[in-house]
Amino acid sequence: MKRFIQQLVSRRSVLILLVGVLFLPSSNAAELSAVTARQLQKALEFQAEEQWQQAAEALESAAKPTDYDNAFVNRMLGVVYWQKGETLKAINALYAAVNSHVLEAEAQQDSERMLADLLMTQSRYQDALKLYYPLSETPELSRKDHGEIWLRIAQAHYQDEQYSKALKGINAHLKLASAKPSSLSLKLGSQLKLKHWKGSTRTLKQLIAIEPGKKTWWIQLVGSYQRLNDKNQMLNTLVLATREGIKLSDSEKMMMAQLYQQQGVPEKAAAVMAIVNQGGEDTTRLVMEASYWQQAKEWDKAIGAWERAATDAPKYYWVAAQLSLQHGHYRKALSLLDKVDNPEKASDVELARALAYDKLDELDKALLHAKRADALKPSSQSHSWIQYLSQKTK
């Protein structure tokens, strides 16, 4: 925003003033006193050659016997000082010109506009607004000029943290000019500052329509929907972004997975997490993937994910082993149980082994592990297993 403001003066207002002083209508020239006109001719020649220092010296030494002479010279000095990089001198010269109120209407308006633009570059927003608002009501200006002035008004209010007024200004601009990323960005910034989340979603959709490949707009749209607690639209936005070729970060993909899960589509949540984990596994992500596969009843994929998670966090071998037992993967369960290294789980592990060997019809081994479980931690469950297996082996 500040960089844009620094470029304001060079785009239009200086050009208008510069052309105006180089090619004067005969009526304006006639109003200058003869002595002033002769002295200004040399300054005009220096300006034409972009010899700004010499032009400034010529103007500073020019005779100014009338108010009009003085205003006209100051108007020219405003341009020359700005070209020399002496912004404060340019502002003072233009203030002297516009405050005289002797310039022709068009010259007065152009001078006021350049002055306002220069004030913006110096962060003098309220001073600039005192000039912009009357200009916005000038009927002689074109629709395009009115649109540009309302854009400046919006920028000034935004920089001065007057976001409601900035929003009114940018809306006035957009009624007069086609929407561009720069103007819509200013509108969006005002809406976000004012917490106008619904409005921000509409603006972001406009920005996406213009710049569909810009990731920032998609992610900000997700954020606005999040503020509205609209999880369905959050997910839709992320899905549409990926279809547009937007590359999501791992954290953004994890958000998508969580949204899929919350919308009751755990298989898609798991598939997204599987993609995330291809780029580099960590325990948290693997646990998310495993949980989602489990919710989706994709048992083999869930067991595999739990086992990978257990590589860094061995406590998950127990989870993988239990899931394997529940779904008939008894040999797999036994190999996983061998990796469970938790003294508090020792008795449970032995009972799990008893169950696995029983299912595999290896009853002697099943009974051995049931007795070990009972020795570690006697319980009604271990007693029942011993009784059951003892009768079964007879």
Between these two residues, 2 and 98, which has the higher pLDDT value? 98
> What pLDDT does 37 receive?
86
> What is the maximum alpha-carbon separation in the chain?
132
For the CA atoms of 119, 120, 125, 126, what is the dihedral angle to 10 degrees? 30
Q: Which two three-digit tokens encode residue 102?
A: 């002797």
CA dist 167 and 174 (Å) reads 11
Range 5-33 average pLDDT:
51
CA dist 269 and 289 (Å) reads 8
Mean pLDDT in the chain? 91
pLDDT tens-digit map of 279-324: 887 899 999 999 999 999 999 999 999 999 999 899 999 999 999 9
CA dist 192 and 209 (Å) reads 19
> What pLDDT does 47 receive?
86
Range 139-157 average pLDDT:
96
> What pLDDT does 22 receive?
43
Sign of CA dihedral 33, 39, 42, 48: negative
For residue 351, pLDDT over 90 is answered with: yes
CA dist 101 and 74 (Å) reads 12
For residue 251, pLDDT over 90 is answered with: yes
> What pLDDT does 12 receive?
53
> pLDDT-based confidence at 4, cuts 50/70/90?
very low
pLDDT tens-digit map of 170-186: 999 999 999 999 999 99
**Which SS3 state, helix, strand or coil, does residue 240 take?**
helix
Q: How far is CA 21 from the centre of its chain?
A: 44
**Which SS3 state, helix, strand or coil, does residue 360 take?**
coil
pLDDT tens-digit map of 60-108: 998 888 999 999 999 999 999 999 999 999 999 999 999 999 999 999 9
CA dist 325 and 128 (Å) reads 76
Percent of the chain with pLDDT over 70: 92
> What pLDDT does 392 receive?
87
